[in-house]
Structure 1
Amino acid sequence: MTELLVRFNIIFIAFLFLASTLSAQSYPDKNVDELLRKGIDKIINQKYDESKQIFSALDRQRSDLPLGKIYLAAAEIAQSYDYEIPFNHNLITDYLETAKSISEKLVENNEKNIWNKYFLALTQGYIAYYDAIRGSWLQAVSTGLSSISLFDDILKEDSSFHDAYIAIGTYKYWKSAKTEFLNWLPFIDDEKNLGIKYLSFAVKNSSYNYHLAVNSLIWIYIDRERYADAIELAEQALNKYPSSRIFRWGLARAYENINPQKAIDEYFKVLNSYPDILKSNKVNEVTLKHIIAQQYNKIGKKSEAKRLCEEILSIKNYSDYEKEKLESRLKRVKELLNELNRY
């Protein structure tokens, strides 16, 4: 398993459960619609503080809806995951639990309203996602399946709710991909192609969440070894969002298998894209330099690979959080350096 596929084991959970924001039918309140679009765009472009300001305004203006709190949690999670810093657990939990309470009351008051059902599905999806990235897998699966079930119900009522296809399509693909060894059983369906079909449909039709459908499909193409398709899709997304690390990670990973030097170039772009305030953040630096060193080694540039390994191992004063995150990787860096020193 490649380094970025390890990273993707978390990312795909994110896109499985984060995957639907709103349908291709814009939310009826034009002000809510505008604030959502602006806030989501800020998250894609990693302008997290600005996104929080927008979603705080939404929460103040429409406290009867859970959307402000859901996306305040989303922004906090995205920033911590992107920057590799500890989650603000109490704040995120408060946002999501409050959003869940609001959503359940809305469903109780009017269960026939498809938006109310959608709010609950989305809230449960984010709770599952947050549980997953913190390692609470059993709880994440339970809540996540409830979310997917609600999205299924939504599509049965309104097949034009296009963004629901992202969550369901991603779920169908990875459920089948991770249980391929059971596909010979009569009650286990292989739904990988159906998952890809759903996501391709979502890419063409989604409004708010085009970016999530695209990213999920990029990583599925990589899993299927359809690297050219992954590169084409990632480059299309980067034409629209040139500063987005989300798409550049996928682009770099896809290039590993057909043009390692290009992959190296793209990984360096990711490494150099973090804001100056994060220059002291060691997790991203170590992770990316290790991945780049592996690519250098693959193409025979041993001295460049050795230099990066030595740079990594010269880093000192790790925080407890960084030590925990990097313990396994630093062992692998030492192993790679020992291998390189034999040449």
Structure 2
Amino acid sequence: MLQVVLLVGFLPAGEAGRVIDPTQEDVAAAIREGMELTVRNRFEQADSLFHRLIQKYPDQPFGYFYVAANLQAWMLDEEDFSRSGLFQLYLNRVLVRCDSLEKIDPNNGWLAFYRGSAHLYKGFLNSKLGHWWGAYREARKGVKELERVLAKDSTLYDALLGIGSYKYWKSAKSGVLRFLPLIADEREEGLRLVEKAIERGHFVYWVGRDQLAWMLIDSKQWERALALAKENHQQIPESRFFLWTLSEALARSGKYREALPVYRQLLESIRADGPKNHFNELHCLTKMAEINLALSRYREADSLARAGLALPLRSAVSRRAKGRLKKLRKVLKVCAPFLAGRQKNAPVEEASVLPER
């Protein structure tokens, strides 16, 4: 109780006890600036900006939500989830403030949006930690809440991003179950909803465009996926999120020669950011080794595989990365007879013709 009293004491005059619309000019500008900082890998600056929102509006959910959203991106960027407890703490604060303010304004769509989005983020964390039932439960709870958003305010298009993403990935991951009569294939609807969120939402432009690119990659709509991924990268070249998406779009579509320099740029960005747990560095080296092997560049493939296997991985990271380590050992095994026979790497122009899948 004392904590609540202290927090209210810091509210600007006239702000206590009412719901602040996040689209009001000062709040919206701060949210958009912070989200762009996140996309640009400037996580500490984004964290500071969102904490200033909390200081100014401590009883509103949006500051806590965007601290958590930035923290999610930060953990993904480093593939290090040791701050998951802090992530959960801020999401719980979002839920507490939504519950409190909804007693004042029960029909406010933004409160339902932040509550639903908080549950989706909790689902994300559960999935990363391998808690699949918890992930599904939180995701379902979040989507139901976002559907309530549209019942309260049909123009709150930001909610469509979470709903559309859920519909698409639920169908995409259901595999053969999609052919059962009671299992709907909602992938096309999911794509449509995400596109509408990007076009008409307030705060989901960048995250929506990246999410849409991954959906298009998954559905093998290569032309659209590559165009969107390239455009995102051109607009914010330093974003590792957009580098990941573009490199994967190129590699999965069979454009191996184009993918290599993008993976190289991504690898250099990861290394320049300082020592981490090497998980993402290993992923880049694995992809580059496999691509060079496919291009018959055995020396390069061998060198990259050895660099990956030499990374000083902690035991927990090694367990998570066992699939990648296995792939690198396979690359070495395939390269060995070619290198032992002193066969030189095929020049680029003479490399095997690769299928553009």
Q: Which residue matches 1:274?
A: 270
Counterpart of 2:287 (choices 272, 291, 296) is 291
Q: Are 1:259 and 2:255 counterparts?
A: yes
Amino acid at match of 2:170: K
How far is the alpha carbon of 1:274 from its aligned partner? 2.5
Counterpart of 2:102 (choices 100, 104, 107) is 107
Amino acid at match of 1:33: A
Counterpart of 2:318 (choices 298, 314, 323) is 323
Give the alignment of 1:138-217 within 5 angstroms.
138-217=133-212
How far is the alpha carbon of 1:252 from its aligned partner? 1.2
Report Cα offsets for 1:23-62 as digits up to 9, x if no partner: xxx8343221121111111111010000010011001110
C-alpha change, 1:253 and 1:89, in structure 2 (3 Å) is closer
Give the alignment of 1:37-76 within 5 angstroms.
37-76=32-71
> Identity percentage over the alignment?
25
How far is the alpha carbon of 1:205 from its aligned partner? 2.3
After TM superposition, the score normalised by the length of structure 2 is: 0.83
Report Cα offsets for 1:178-207 as digits up to 9, x if no partner: 224223333222211111111222232233
Separation of aligned partners in 2, 1:259 and 1:323: 29
C-alpha change, 1:312 and 1:239, in structure 2 (3 Å) is closer
Give the alignment of 1:220-231 within 5 angstroms.
220-231=215-226
Separation of aligned partners in 1, 2:180 and 2:81: 42
SS of residue in 1 equivalent to 2:179: coil
C-alpha change, 1:194 and 1:89, in structure 2 (3 Å) is closer
Q: Check whether the contact 2:286–2:328 (CA below 8 A) recurs between aligned residues.
A: yes
SS of residue in 2 equivalent to 1:272: helix
Q: Check whether the contact 1:309–1:337 (CA below 8 A) recurs between aligned residues.
A: yes
SS of residue in 2 equivalent to 1:186: coil
Counterpart of 2:93 (choices 98, 106, 120) is 98
Separation of aligned partners in 2, 1:112 and 1:97: 21
Q: Which residue matches 2:6?
A: none
Separation of aligned partners in 1, 2:331 and 2:267: 20
After TM superposition, the score normalised by the length of structure 1 is: 0.86
Separation of aligned partners in 2, 1:307 and 1:234: 29
SS of residue in 2 equivalent to 1:183: helix
Separation of aligned partners in 2, 1:41 and 1:285: 24
C-alpha change, 1:283 and 1:229, in structure 2 (3 Å) is same
Farther off after superposition, 248-257 or 77-86:
77-86
Q: Which residue matches 2:227?
A: 232
How far is the alpha carbon of 1:280 from its aligned partner? 5.7
> Aligned residues, how many?
317
Counterpart of 1:132 (choices 127, 138, 142) is 127
Q: Are 1:120 and 2:110 counterparts?
A: no
Q: Check whether the contact 1:77–1:87 (CA below 8 A) recurs between aligned residues.
A: no
5+ residue gaps, structure 1, are: 1-25
Farther off after superposition, 189-198 or 174-183:
174-183
Q: Which residue matches 1:18?
A: none
Q: Check whether the contact 2:107–2:152 (CA below 8 A) recurs between aligned residues.
A: no
Q: Which residue matches 1:19?
A: none
How far is the alpha carbon of 1:261 from its aligned partner? 0.9
Amino acid at match of 1:341: A
SS of residue in 1 equivalent to 2:220: coil
Q: Are 1:33 and 2:20 counterparts?
A: no
Amino acid at match of 1:286: L
Report Cα offsets for 1:303-328 as digits up to 9, x if no partner: 2111111222233x432343333233
Q: Which residue matches 2:309?
A: 313
Separation of aligned partners in 2, 1:269 and 1:277: 12
Amino acid at match of 1:259: K
C-alpha change, 1:283 and 1:179, in structure 2 (3 Å) is closer
